[in-house]
Amino acid sequence: MPFIDTQRMPLKEPLPGWHVRFVHSQTMLFGHYDVEAGASIHEHQHPNEEVWNIIDGELEVTIAGETRIAGPGCVAVVPPNTLHSVKALRPGRVIVVDYPRRDSIGGVSTT
């Protein structure tokens, strides 16, 4: 499946305010998120590398104790097994890539 129209995929909400459509490649997971202002993800870690690509809006991203405000064009790279958290300061859109791919996020299946 080389081309995917994400707008035709089911919308999921693994955490309050995080609306997502998941796309799988053979080895990666792509989460296309629409985020509400104030939505947050608690501090956590996982064995997957995670790359946050901020398309629109403004996020407060903390990785290994370092906090930055990330806006359009910013990329935040979370190494495997590293504590991180996120809070949306303004509504926005983000593409989050996980390698290797994950089968669930926030208890919600990515398939």
Q: What is the Cα–Cα distance from 69 to 7, expressed in whole angstroms?
A: 28
State the average pLDDT for the chain: 96
Q: Are 101 and 22 in contact (CB under 8 A)?
A: no
Is a pLDDT exceeding 80 seen at residue 25?
yes
Local confidence band at 2 (pLDDT 50, 70, 90 cut-offs): confident
Look up the CATH number of the domain holding residue 25: 2.60.120.10
- Answer whether residue 111 is part of any domain: no
- Answer whether residue 40 is part of any domain: yes
Q: In this predicted structure, what is the pLDDT of residue 24?
A: 94
- Answer whether residue 92 is part of any domain: yes
- Answer whether residue 110 is part of any domain: no
- Answer whether residue 15 is part of any domain: yes
Q: In this predicted structure, what is the pLDDT of residue 43?
A: 98
Q: For 90, which DSSP code?
A: E
- Answer whether residue 90 is part of any domain: yes
Number of domains observed in the structure of the chain: 1
Structural domain containing residue 95: 10-104
